[in-house]
């Protein structure tokens, strides 16, 4: 990931690679028939109610007020322009927050899709895209959900042919929350030596010294354990490892013939996925 410039609107121009993986939260919407959202004694539950919607969440705790949840924001965007009957919405969070995995952005984007399909709103694709971009710079990617090079704020998407199904993807997050705004403040704009689109045409075995994440150096200084995690993945056989976005997740690519095994603390978020 590269920061290629600072924009007059306060955002940064970037060049990065987005790749969808099988890591999901769960979002459910049902008609509101006057029932309670969920029992008050349920663990790890937050609730919020406003005219037209009762919202609840479970799983990983979500920072901030429930009223500020990205799914509520997605609901409000559509409700402004379309008629939606009273509903109950429940979000179960499994993806770590502040981990550079796009969990929140995916929740917002898929909430748009779910409401559109559930209530037969027939929202034009461009309007859905505009809604998604209002929610966040990387939200439009989750409408596409295919490998893509992202430029601009992250919203200018060019689909690319990239198949990592021959590899294991090991994802490790030690529970460190990285502020995106803080991370952007730590880097100086630098263009990549070679366009990412050219790098990924090569075998992933050749990415190590070419496909870089510009956020790693400053974020690793703040959190040395992340650099240690990256080194550990290489020591255990990864042929490519990197930090995701602004962090704090580290991932490694392993050939499927390998059976990576680690002794990470049990409270860490660790997944071995098929590409």
Please compute the mean of the pLDDT values over residues 246-270 and round it to a whole number: 91
pLDDT score recorded for residue 37: 55
Please compute the mean of the pLDDT values over residues 246-275 and round it to a whole number: 89
Exposure string (b/e) for 116-151, b if CB count within 10 Å is 16 or more?
Answer: beebebebeeebbbebbbebbbbbbbbbbeebbbbb
CA distance 141 to 138: 6
Confidence of residue 138 (pLDDT cuts 50, 70, 90): very high
pTM of the model: 0.91
Whether the Cβ atoms of residue 94 and residue 60 lie closer than 8 Å to each other? yes
Q: What is the pLDDT of residues 159-184, one digit of tens each?
A: 999 999 999 999 999 999 888 878 88
Q: What is the pLDDT of residues 63-104, one digit of tens each?
A: 888 899 999 999 999 999 999 999 999 999 999 988 999 999
pLDDT score recorded for residue 46: 80
Distance, CA of 41 to chain centre: 30
Residues belonging to the chain: 275
Residue 51 DSSP symbol:
T
CA distance 140 to 136: 8
pLDDT above 90 (res 192): no
Domains of the chain: 26-144 (3.30.230.10), 163-274 (3.30.70.890)
CA distance 79 to 92: 22
């Amino acid at each position: 990931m590269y920061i290629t410039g600072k924009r007059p609107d306060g955002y940064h121009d970037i060049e990065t690679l987005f790749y969808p993986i099988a890591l999901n939260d769960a979002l459910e919407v049902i008609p509101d028939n006057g029932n309670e959202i969920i029992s008050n004694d349920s663990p790890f539950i937050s609730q919020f109610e406003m005219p037209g919607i009762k919202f609840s969440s479970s799983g990983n705790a979500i920072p901030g007020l429930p009223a500020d949840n990205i799914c509520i924001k997605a609901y409000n965007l559509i409700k402004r322009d379309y008629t939606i009957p009273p509903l109950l919405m429940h979000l179960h969070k499994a993806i770590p927050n502040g981990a550079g995995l796009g969990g929140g952005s995916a929740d917002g984007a898929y909430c748009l899709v779910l409401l559109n399909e559930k209530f037969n709103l027939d929202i034009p694709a461009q309007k859905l895209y505009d809604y998604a971009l209002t929610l966040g710079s990387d939200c439009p990617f989750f409408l596409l959900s295919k490998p893509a090079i992202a430029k601009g704020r992250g919203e200018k998407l060019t689909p690319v042919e990239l198949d990592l199904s021959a590899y294991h993807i090991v994802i490790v997050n030690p529970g460190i929350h990285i502020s995106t705004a803080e991370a952007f403040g730590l880097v100086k704009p630098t263009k990549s030596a070679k366009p990412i689109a050219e790098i990924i045409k090569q075998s992933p075995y050749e990415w190590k010294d070419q496909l870089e994440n510009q956020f790693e150096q400053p974020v690793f200084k703040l959190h040395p354990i992340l650099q240690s995690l990256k080194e550990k993945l290489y020591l255990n056989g990864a042929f490519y490892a990197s930090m995701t976005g602004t962090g704090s997740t580290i991932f490694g690519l392993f050939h499927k013939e390998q059976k990576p095994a680690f002794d990470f603390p049990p409270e860490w978020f660790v997944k071995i996925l098929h590409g």
